[in-house]
């Protein structure tokens, strides 16, 4: 499914939203959020991904990212989604603690059956809606949007209190993912 949203120049920061199929609250479990953080750090270290901001919400992830070393941002995001989906799906199949296991697998597998690109499972919606942030006010607006997202969702009172966000890094704290501050 093609949309009007496209990644432009790789070295320009892009605001990216990755959404779980059917807006399922998959990331209300720490173990699945940790997979996202680990994969972000892997892409930072090995694929030239530069993360300026992130937040992992219950059913979606927002990023401000770009690439260095001539890497293709679209390809890095594609690989990120592919790998995290595979790991989450395999973990979910083995997870004896997950009370919603059957329901989650039903959603993920039925979405995979309906997809032209996947045949057995689908965790992420196809669209990323990348928006190039080529003006400073756009960057600041999206940065604030990302960091205020957990507050709007009623998760915390201050942005830096939410562990699965880059807000702490911007407040001088050490975060879970390696963020390049702007």
pLDDT digits (tens, 9 = 90+) for 162-182: 999 999 999 999 999 999 998
- Provide the whole-model pTM: 0.93
Task: Give the pLDDT of residue 117.
Answer: 67
CA angle 21, 25, 31 (to 5 degrees): 110
pLDDT digits (tens, 9 = 90+) for 101-114: 999 999 999 998 88
pLDDT digits (tens, 9 = 90+) for 80-96: 999 999 999 999 999 99
Give CATH for domain 14-170. 3.30.70.1290
Tell me the two tokens of residue 158.
């201050």
Quick check: 176 and 163 in contact, CB under 8 A? Answer: yes
Rounded to whole angstroms, the Cα distance separating 35 from 83 reads 10
């Amino acid at each position: 499914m093609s949309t009007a949203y496209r990644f432009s120049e790789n070295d320009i920061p892009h605001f990216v939203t990755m959404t779980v199929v059917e807006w399922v609250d998959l990331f209300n479990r720490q173990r699945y959020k940790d997979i996202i953080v680990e994969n972000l750090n892997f892409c930072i270290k090995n694929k030239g991904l530069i993360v300026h901001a992130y937040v992992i919400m219950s059913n979606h992830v927002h990023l401000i990212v770009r690439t260095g070393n001539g890497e293709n941002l679209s390809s890095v995001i594609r690989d990120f989604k592919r790998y995290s989906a595979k790991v989450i799906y395999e973990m979910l199949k083995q997870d004896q603690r997950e009370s919603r296991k059957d329901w989650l697998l039903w959603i993920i597998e039925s979405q995979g059956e309906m997809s032209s690109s996947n045949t057995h499972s689908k965790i992420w919606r196809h669209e990323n809606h990348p928006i190039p942030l080529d003006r400073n006010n756009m960057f600041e607006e999206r940065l604030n949007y990302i960091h205020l997202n957990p507050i709007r969702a009623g998760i915390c009172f201050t942005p830096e209190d939410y562990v699965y966000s880059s807000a702490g890094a911007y407040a001088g704290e050490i975060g879970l993912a390696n963020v390049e501050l702007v």
